[in-house]
Amino acid sequence: MTPPTLEVAAGPLTFQNPIVLAAGTAAYGRELADVMDLERLGGLVTKAVSLEPRSGAAAPRVTDFDGGMINAVGLANPGVDAVLAEDLPWLAAHVRAPRVLVNVVGREAAEFGAVVARLDGATGFQAYELNVSCPNVRQGGLEFGADRDALTAVVQGARAATRRPLFVKLSPTLPQLADAARTAVDAGADGISVINTIPGLVVDVARRRPVLGFGSGGVSGPGLLAVGVLATWKVRQAVSVPILGVGGVQHATDVLQYMIAGASAVGVGTAALVDPKLPARLARELATWCEANGVARLADLVGTLEWPR
Ligand SMILES: Cc1cc2nc3c(=O)[nH]c(=O)nc-3n(C[C@H](O)[C@H](O)[C@H](O)COP(=O)(O)O)c2cc1C
C-alpha cells in the first residue's frame, strides 16, 4: 500500500501535515530550532507582533496546575520593526516546508492593519493570524472579537493591507461564536482559528494572592480539548472557510477529533512546550493511524462528523 498522504489544504495554503505550532508557544521559530526539527511541522504561528515593543506582564507569567497551564504573558514582543529586522529573515532562510503564519495583535482596531502593512513586503511567512481575543483599549478592554463593529474594522483594516490569507483567532468565551466567525468572514477573513485560551485564576493559598504577577491569566492545555473541538464544530456550521483548530491537543486522536469536527489544520501549544518532540511524533502517529484504518488521504476526514439525530 502507498503511504497515506497527510497533506491538507487550508484555502490557498497547503500544509505538508496538519500539525501547526500554536501562537505564542513557538516564539518566532528560531528559539525552537535547537530542540525540535521545524521541517517536520505542517506549520507554525509566531508569537504576537504589535506595532511597538511590549514588555508584557509582571512575573511570574506562567504556572502549571492539574488542569493544564495558565499564563499572563501580556503579549510581550519586540515590536514589528525588530520582527522585520531579525525574525522574518531567519524564518525566510531556515524554514522551508512548514507554512508560517504571523500572529498580529493591537490595542485598537487600526493597529492590526498598521502592523500588517509594515510586514507585508517581507518574506519568511505566508499568512497572518489576527488575535482578536485581546482587549480593545478604546472600548474599555472589551475584546475585539466580542464587538461586531470592532471585529469588522480589524479585519477590513488588515484586508486592505495584504493579499496574503488572513486567519482570525476567536475566543471560546464569546457568547455568539458563530456570529463572530460570520462577521470575520464577511469582513474578508480567509480562515478562522479557534480557540484561544480561556480566562482563569490560580490562587497561591499560603500568600492568598494570585500565583501570576498579572493576577488572572489564560488557561491552556488538556482541559481545552473538548471546548476547542466544540468551537470548531460550531464555526464549521457557520462558515465554509478553513479552520485552524487549537486547544488541548496531546495525542494523534485529539488531532483527528479536531479534523473530524471541521478543522483543516490543528495547533499544538502547551503540550509542545512540555515536550518539543511531540509535534513530529504526532505527524508520525497520524500516518500510522491512517495506515491502520485504511485512510489514504487524511484530508478526507475533515468535517466528517455525524451529529446524533
Ligand atoms: C505561553 C502562551 C502564549 C500564548 N501567546 C499567544 C499569542 O501571542 N497569540 C495568540 O493568538 N495566542 C497565544 N496563545 C494561545 C495559544 O496559541 C493557544 O490558542 C492556546 O494555548 C490553546 O492551545 P493549547 O491548549 O494547545 O496550548 C498563547 C498560549 C500560551 C500557553
Residue range 199-227: mean pLDDT, rounded: 97
Domain 8-53+78-200+220-301: CATH superfamily, name plus number? Aldolase class I (3.20.20.70)
Residue with CA nearest ligand 1 atom 21: 220
Active site residues: 134
Average pLDDT of the segment spanning 229-253: 98
pLDDT value at residue 142: 87
The residue ranges of every structural domain in the chain are 8-53+78-200+220-301
Q: What pLDDT was estimated at residue 1? A: 66
**DSSP-based helix, strand, coil % in the chain, nearest 5:** 35, 20, 40
Q: Is the CB of 77 under 6 A from ligand 1?
A: no
Choice from 19, 25, 131, 227 to test ligand 1 binding pocket (greatest atom count within 8 A of CB)? 25
pLDDT band at 185 (very low <50, low <70, confident <90, very high): very high
So what's the pLDDT on residue 136?
A: 80
Distance CA 111, CA 113 (A): 6
Q: Judge whether 235 and 243 are in contact, CB under 8 Å.
A: yes
User: pTM for the complete prediction?
Assistant: 0.98
H/E segment holding residue 70: strand 68-71
Of 87, 220, 249, best ligand 1 pocket probe by most atoms within 8 Å of the beta carbon: 220
> Lowest-confidence range among 16-30, 134-148, 256-270, 278-292?
134-148
If one counts every other C-beta atom within 10 angstroms of the C-beta of residue 175, the result is 7
- At 186, the amino acid letter reads D
Q: In whole numbers, what is the pLDDT of the chain averaged over residues? A: 96
> Average pLDDT in the 170-182 region?
96
DSSP assigned state of 223: G
Distant-in-sequence, close-in-space partners of 16: CB < 8 Å, separation ≥ 6: 6, 7, 42, 97, 98
Q: How far is the CA of 220 from the centre of ligand 1 (A)?
A: 7
24 Cα to the center of ligand 1, angstroms:
5
pLDDT per residue over 106-135, tens digit each? 999 999 999 999 999 999 999 999 999 988
Q: Average pLDDT in the 293-309 region?
A: 97
- In whole angstroms, what is the distance from residue 173 CA to residue 220 CA? 13
Atom of ligand 1 lying closest to residue 77 CA: 8
Quick one: pLDDT at residue 2?
85
Q: What is the pLDDT of residues 131-171, one digit of tens each?
A: 999 888 788 888 999 999 999 999 999 999 999 999 999 99
> What is the pLDDT at residue 272?
97
Whether residue 54 contacts residue 81, with contact meaning beta carbons closer than 8 Å, is answered with no
Q: State yes or no: pLDDT of 182 exceeds 90.
A: yes
Q: Whose CA is nearest to atom 12 of ligand 1?
A: 23
